Amino acid sequence: MRNLTRGRLAPAGALLTLLILLTVATGALAQKPLGVVDSQRIIEEYAAAKDAQGQVRDFVRELEKEIGEKERELQRLFEEIESQKMLLGEEALNAKLQEAEQKRAEYFRFREQVDQRVDQEYQDKMSPIYDQVKTIADRIGQEEGFGVIIDSAAFTVLYLDPDVDLTNRVLEALARGDDE
């Protein structure tokens, strides 16, 4: 049975975007420091985050029991069909196989729903903690004059000083056709 817990992994595109941001903003960053926060360490050390992770793990364990039971039921059904294959007529065998395939399809729909429930549970439990980290990073960034504060574990920007944001300049250049 596969592990249903979810980690926060940033896609490669997010890392590339972050690297481009840091490269482009080097001039502005020369005036302002770069800050780094390790959200993975926060999750490992912050009591509320550890508690939330534990709640998610408990939730997943309960779902894994339910998944295991459904898998055993499905396995028993296919074993029953296999053992009765020679005794059943073609029509009865086809009916049993059709029933088994329907049960298999139901199982896979159930697994999809479980995955969605796990994702939602993780978001429900962990989002408030990530929101707290972002709020604190915003405050520190503004109060202490950071240009950018990144999350080194998730490769995301937690705080960005508006002076470092070049979006308006890029949009203006695009509007002028300066894309070469």
Q: What is the pLDDT of residue 169?
A: 75
Give the three-class secondary structure for 92. Answer: helix
pLDDT in single tens digits along all 180 residues of the chain: 333 334 444 455 555 565 555 555 555 555 788 888 888 888 889 999 999 999 999 999 999 999 999 999 999 999 998 888 888 888 988 998 999 999 999 999 999 999 999 999 999 999 999 999 999 998 999 999 888 888 888 888 888 888 777 677 777 877 887 765
Q: For residues 173 and 165, give the distance between their C-alpha atoms in angstroms, rounded to a whole number.
A: 14
pTM (2 decimals)? 0.66
Summary mean pLDDT of the chain: 82
Contact 148, 34 (CB under 8 A): yes
In tens, the pLDDT along 64-79 reads 999 999 999 999 999 9
